[in-house]
Structure 1
Amino acid sequence: MDAVEQQKVVSLDRGLFFVSYARADDLAFPPRVMVVPTQGHEGRMEIIMHPDASEPYLWAPNCGLMVRVNTPGTLQIQVQPMRTGGSRAAMVRIEPIPSGRAPLVAQSERAVLHANVAMGDLKVLGHVAGRGDVVVAPNAWIAGPTAPSRIEGIALDWPEKPVGLDIRYAVQFANGHAGSGKMVSLGTYAGTRGRALPITAVVLEISGVDGFEFVAEATFLNAATLRAVGKRVVLSGPASREPLVGIRIGVNRAVDNVVPAKPARQPVGSGRVRVFRSRAPKGVPSANEIGPPHGS
């Protein structure tokens, strides 16, 4: 195997699975992902690709393929950089597709499955100077690196939020204006409108149900784009006074187990392969993630 290649072997029970390329750190040169049965397990499963595809490769985020498993076996996920020294950081999701019969699922697992399908219901509002209120889906930019503009307030709305999940957030102003730093609940607007008061920091918190985390990026005037992941996220410029001119916010399912990869040789470049398996009825494994520590 190439020294810069990352791989993970995943055990799958009998069933039908959707394998999707969820995310890459380097969008300009995303690593390619190859999905194949492990050696000796080729007869246990079949890879179902797009009619125009000739090889089981996922070339960029939002690509996917199906895996039909007739007899329990193992699937190999390989991530390869697109150029020498390129990124190997990729997130791959493996989701079981239920059969025609409704499985018996415990109530606690029903809540998790519901969370997986309802994530797109999250909406992010930002009040942009000169444009007014802008509402976007998760992980979409409001203003941002390509169209920076002063943001004066934000609000999050999630009608189908999982029961027991608590989300709060706050914005801060450079001049200590009333309301600066005050945490508000989901659905509440934080900030001002039409008062030319730029936001200098954003705080996001998520608690309650385990397994959820914020993934957020922000651009502050004359500063590099910031990215933060966690249950509590704080975004601000280098001097904590720069105006916010772009933001995007998403919520991810955090993983249950973390298994560090152990490549045979020191890889070139930086990155990791992350494989997520959605929770499913009994007999289908739970979510997991692999990858070397950051900076490896």
Structure 2
Amino acid sequence: MLSIPPGLDPDLLRSFVLIVEGGSFTRAAQAVGRTQSAVSMQIRRLEEMLGQPLLLRGARGVEPTRHGLWLLERARRLLALHDEIHSTFRQPAVAGAVRLGTPDDYAMRWLPGILARFAGSHPAVEVEVTCAPSHELVARLAEGELDLTLLSEGNEPPGSRIRWLWRGPLYWVGTDELARRRPLPLSLASGGCSWRDAAITALDKADLPWRVAYTAASLSGSLAVALAGLAITVAMPGPLPDGLRALGPAEGLPLLPEFGIGLLRGPRTPVAEALAQHIEEGFELETGYETRLRA
């Protein structure tokens, strides 16, 4: 008689995915509202069902095995479909439209995963995203044109209540050859950008001559100029195109300060609050992953 294998419990797969993404049993347990021992037992059950080890504890936290990596991609797809089915056949708790602002520098780095998860859990919500410099987004929020916005530190209105989501250093990005040129050719955003101000202040304090060779409206534009070998630019930690690398004192450049990414809300509505919660959770998850990478 043909034996039918037991079905995979979505709860087991969800705990597995959360552990891999957060690098921690504790963080995953908090996300699903279970104890750490209960989540550990879930993973043991999953490994027993599949007959292969899925996770390893290493110096950087919990990491997937070869079989775990294979499962991760498929578990994400299965859970997305599971959540879509579930949300489609239930009355959505939140519906309507929400207008989110973000600097272009953060859109590709942070938002894809956040917005995808939000769409899966809130299918009746329409998200309108506006990319612009931080100071423009703050002005639009004040005018009622946005419901909430991400912004770079240094652009927050006086006395505003900011939820700071991330903090880390800025880096010079380019090539060794460009770093040796004097005056130093720069590709920066236009006036009003806190990254631009930080770069110029650091160079002036170090008494290094510089010139703004290119003005780009976005980080992708500045990276394209740097990749062409025409100027260096400033970026936050993260993946860089092949041919570029982070530069610093070893290349004769001054250290750049840390900066923060904040979330500023307008009038609170159920739709805006739901998206704000997803953004905060997404940044917390990414911050935990980066902490492991720097360990």
Q: Same fold (TM over 0.5)?
A: no
Q: TM-score, normalised by structure 2?
A: 0.29
Q: Which has the higher helix share?
A: 2
